[in-house]
Amino acid sequence: MDAIVADNLRKEFGGVVAVDDVSFSVRSGVVFGYLGPNGAGKTTTLRMIYGVLRPTSGTAYVMGHDVLREPAQAKKNLGVMPEETGLYSRLTAEENLIYFGRLRGLRGRELERRVVKLLQKLNLMEKRYVIADKLSRGQKQKVAFARAILHEPPILILDEPTLGVDVMSAREIRRMIEDYAKEGNTVVISTHNMFEVERLCQEVAIINRGRIVYQGSKDDLMRISGEKEFEDVFVKLVRQEVVER
Ligand SMILES: Nc1ncnc2c1ncn2[C@@H]1O[C@H](COP(=O)(O)OP(=O)(O)OP(=O)(O)O)[C@@H](O)[C@H]1O
Ligand SMILES: [Mg+2]
């Protein structure tokens, strides 16, 4: 079954079309890159999929659950890292994780174990008791990533997860994403980092001005474009030099 299906998703903001009847599907078990220039409509699409923004028309399905008709069942499958981290600024790094873990049904020793393990992996132990408001941008990103993955959901949606994150931590996040996908989970990742795409994604969709200009396997795209670097492929596509397969 497809983990996620976007079915003619459309979002207009006061007459401006941010997402223009976007459809794509994400197979279970892949890392799917959702790519496009600033303002292309990535965040808007993802927000409709994870159920915080109502589409103007169209809908999305998460593990077969319509996000508009069965929002609770759809959300149960998701771990989300929003573009704005969405942390509670007056809770500490650890409290943010504990609070969220409880909301997702985790308790006691098991919750504590997972929180500490993630804080260690992401090199955040010394910020454990610091309120989110006082964390650096990269540190907030890392806490938000930990929060997305804490309850081990089958699908992760990550909106620019390594933005502003230092080299070592970005590597760790990439490694965690890889391991996570290897276990059969699905990851949708929006990023401007082309190295990350090359490294992580098997499938990509590219959106430009609200419209999908490519969806398919990254390797196929590399082949038909005749380019060696993914960045060059991306530039070509956004300039509309490669037509959809
Ligand atoms: N709440 C909103 N109200 C009005 N316009 C919005 C709103 N959110 C997004 N937009 C507009 O919709 C378009 C798409 O924005 P979106 O945030 O989805 O882009 P993006 O692809 O995520 O870009 P970036 O790479 O910069 O994060 C932009 O033109 C933006 O100005
Ligand atoms: Mg965005």
Average pLDDT over residues 43-52: 98
Candidate of 34, 44, 192 to mutate for ligand 1, largest count of ligand atoms within 8 Å of Cβ: 44
Q: What is the mean pLDDT of the chain?
A: 94
The tens digit of pLDDT for each residue in 197-235 reads 999 999 999 999 999 999 999 999 888 888 888 999 899
Confidence of residue 242 (pLDDT cuts 50, 70, 90): low
Q: How far is the CA of 40 from the centre of ligand 2 (A)?
A: 8
Would you state the pLDDT for residue 241?
67
Candidate of 16, 17, 22, 43 to mutate for ligand 1, largest count of ligand atoms within 8 Å of Cβ: 43
Atom of ligand 1 at shortest range from CA of 19 = 14
The tens digit of pLDDT for each residue in 93-122 reads 999 999 999 999 999 999 999 999 999 999
Cα distances from 44 to residues 20, 83, 114, 152, 203, in angstroms, run: 11, 10, 31, 24, 20
Confidence of residue 243 (pLDDT cuts 50, 70, 90): low
Check the CA dihedral 108-109-114-120 and report its sign. Answer: positive
What global pTM score does this model have?
0.94
Would you state the pLDDT for residue 244?
53
Do 3 and 26 form a contact (C-beta atoms < 8 A)? yes
Do 18 and 44 form a contact (C-beta atoms < 8 A)? yes
> Quick check: 3 pLDDT over 70?
yes
Which ligand approaches the C-alpha of residue 37 most closely?
A: 1
Atom of ligand 1 at shortest range from CA of 47 = 18
Would you state the pLDDT for residue 227?
87
Would you state the pLDDT for residue 237?
87
Do 23 and 50 form a contact (C-beta atoms < 8 A)? no
Burial class (CB in 10 A: 0-12, 13-18, 19+), 76: middle
> Quick check: 175 pLDDT over 60?
yes
> Quick check: 90 pLDDT over 70?
yes
Would you state the pLDDT for residue 125?
97
Average pLDDT over residues 170-198: 94
Atom of ligand 1 at shortest range from CA of 46 = 18
Distance CA 171, CA 200 (A): 11
Q: What is the percent of the chain where pLDDT is above 70?
A: 98
Which ligand approaches the C-alpha of residue 44 most closely?
A: 1
Q: Which residue lies with its CA nearest to atom 4 of ligand 1? A: 13
> Quick check: 58 pLDDT over 90?
yes
Would you state the pLDDT for residue 114?
97
